[in-house]
Structure 1
């Protein structure tokens, strides 16, 4: 089973940039999208997603945020949001239950310039961490998506220059450490602990992607006991159409 996660930075825009070819070439069994920026009735899905079951969590604000999951296997259960009104206005979390695991698709809030939204971000992180930990009491959890944090210095091209930037503040990195400490493994680093220059997001400015001046902020986190089922974790920088590239895991 192949699971892919991708922040598409607007699904309607990405559909015109080879999205169907991507689905054909990568053959996901489950495809998790973030920053869809649309409601389902606004989107004409490509034929490549025929036969998939689709689930959406769209933001109340038009053209903003949003998540979606397309899955070949119909899940046992679907939960939209975190169950907390304060945190469920922006379409950031979808949880699907399968026979062997829970899958959580997440688009974590950005702390924004000057870290002006950092206090909210850290509160949100704590609620999301509890959500995943509660799910893990019943069966293993896979969370994936744009977590909006580069965890370690190896995960960012210019760590010194970005020490106090949104997505690389000490507080956000410590919060992600807490999430992993709740019983989860960063799947990519499990397989590639020392791999450098492996990024999933690049600024549109200054030719950052061409020069690979990027950040790794998209993840698959997996319950530690379930890692034996994960055969590989990948970053797919050859897939364009967004400022992010997809990330993937393969399950036995």
Structure 2
């Protein structure tokens, strides 16, 4: 089973830069996107009957938004956290037979940290939400979590300590989330890999020089680890300031894990 996650930073713009070709080449079972930045009716992606589409639009035009394209129809779909709605369109949850899939675009604290308090409150609610799901069946979380967890996860960590995305508070919330029973799939396979990033500033030559941050993740319930076969970063794919990330699982083992849970 192959899952792909990509913060496209404006899906209409990304489509003009090769999104559809990449989508088809990946041949994913589930493809998640964040920062769609559009409203219902502003785009038509025709993948035939092979994929069912689930969209969560932000109320504010041209802002945020998430979507999931899935070959298998889920048992249920939820939008947002507790209230099954989210004004900024930041989350879609699909329930399948053996796991929950949570596609999320975590709020940014902003450069001046003016939304840090909101961000931390949101993190508390999000951790409570996914741990409740995890009590029922395994969970796969994917998306732009807007935090570089460890020093290894960004190029110039010393000069970024305390900056948005690398504050002690945000990193601490990621530590708490992992401590609640989740595993960073990329670090599971590549615990010491340097220069593995998923986001780069649009400033000149930053991406060319690989001065980036790893802020996009696939986190999985710890009991799913035996089913993981690969987690990788597709850093060569252009079209956004983020690149796609990919998770692969052995579906036969996935079914066994759910049975044993």
TM range (shorter): over 0.9
Mapped to 2, the partners of 1:216 and 1:101 lie a distance apart of: 25
Mapped to 2, the partners of 1:50 and 1:246 lie a distance apart of: 24
1:152–1:49: structure 2 CA closer, same or farther, 3 Å change rule? Answer: farther
Matched, 1:33 2:52: no
What is the TM-score normalised by the length of structure 2?
0.93
**1:181 is matched with which residue?**
179
Matched, 1:58 2:57: yes
Matched, 1:101 2:70: no
Within 5 Å, give how 1:192-231 maps onto structure 2: 192-231=190-229
Matched, 1:236 2:247: no
**2:82 is matched with which residue?**
83
**1:141 is matched with which residue?**
139
**1:161 is matched with which residue?**
159
SS of 1:174's equivalent?
A: helix
Structure 1 runs not aligned, ≥5 long:
none
Matched, 1:10 2:10: yes
Per-residue CA deviations over 1:44-89 (Å, capped at 9, x if unaligned) read 21x446521000111010110000000011111100111248x811
1:20 touches 1:48 (CA, 8 Å); kept in 2?
A: no
Q: Count residues with an aligned counterpart.
A: 250
Per-residue CA deviations over 1:12-52 (Å, capped at 9, x if unaligned) read 1101111111012221110000000112311121x446521
SS of 1:139's equivalent?
A: coil
What is the TM-score normalised by the length of structure 1?
0.97
SS of 1:28's equivalent?
A: coil
SS of 1:115's equivalent?
A: coil
**Deviation of residue 99 (structure 1)?**
0.6
SS of 2:204's equivalent?
A: helix
Mapped to 1, the partners of 2:70 and 2:224 lie a distance apart of: 20
1:136–1:48: structure 2 CA closer, same or farther, 3 Å change rule? Answer: same
Mapped to 1, the partners of 2:130 and 2:2 lie a distance apart of: 21
1:148 touches 1:218 (CA, 8 Å); kept in 2?
A: yes
**1:74 is matched with which residue?**
73
1:49–1:19: structure 2 CA closer, same or farther, 3 Å change rule? Answer: farther
SS of 1:134's equivalent?
A: helix
